[in-house]
Amino acid sequence: MSHFPSIPNLELLALFRKFPDRGILPLLEYHDAILRNDSELSVGERELIAAYVSSLNDCHYCFSAHLDHAKAWGIPAEVFGDVRIDLDHPGIPERMRPVLAFVRRLTVDPAGTGMADAQAVYDAGFSEEGFFDVISVTALYNFMNRILEGAGIKRHVRVMDMTDEMRRRYRYTHLWKTISKSPGQV
């Protein structure tokens, strides 16, 4: 249920349209920088992290959106359940297991995160740049989950059907064109 009386049927685009001057474009640009630019982590692995963080926070909207993107980038559909991820599924790349353990700790016990947690990610073959990408995706999705949950957006409403190919070409800044149009424009 929307926490904004002026937007009773709240969904993400309506929220961003309501507050376009609150850093929405830079936020979308940051999404592209973290999720779509070059990284040691594949796009699918970064989308898996986004979905996993969202599952830990019970943010249905982000979980649903990012599992669709992760699947389009090659993460097996069987990994995903109802707002949860099967960490024991063989479709989870072995190198991602310590990453997801770190992501869990950083999400549920940030102050408890220590060098042993980081070292496990390094031991899985990631450099400091790759480790920073892990931290960045985790932080971004904890942030986004708080925005959506705080606004009262509980369910992912698809505003358009996207094929896997469309998802692989997708940049988060593409949303800006939709957001910056008035609601009646197509």
pLDDT in tens, 92-133: 999 999 999 999 999 999 999 999 999 999 999 999 999 999
The token pair that represents 169 in the structure block: 């070409």
Q: Quick: pLDDT tens for 33-47.
A: 999 999 999 999 999
Check the CA dihedral 31-27-172-145 and report its sign: positive
pLDDT band at 186 (very low <50, low <70, confident <90, very high): very low
Taken in order of first residue, the domains within the chain and their CATH numbers are: 12-16+23-180 (1.20.1290.10)
Does the pLDDT value for residue 185 go beyond 80?
no
Distance CA 30, CA 52 (A): 19
Least confident of 13-27, 69-83, 129-143, 160-174: 160-174
Residue 71's pLDDT band (boundaries 50, 70, 90)? very high
Burial of residue 67 (number of CB atoms within 10 Å: 0-12, 13-18, 19+):
buried
Reported pTM: 0.92
d(CA 185, CA 176): 14
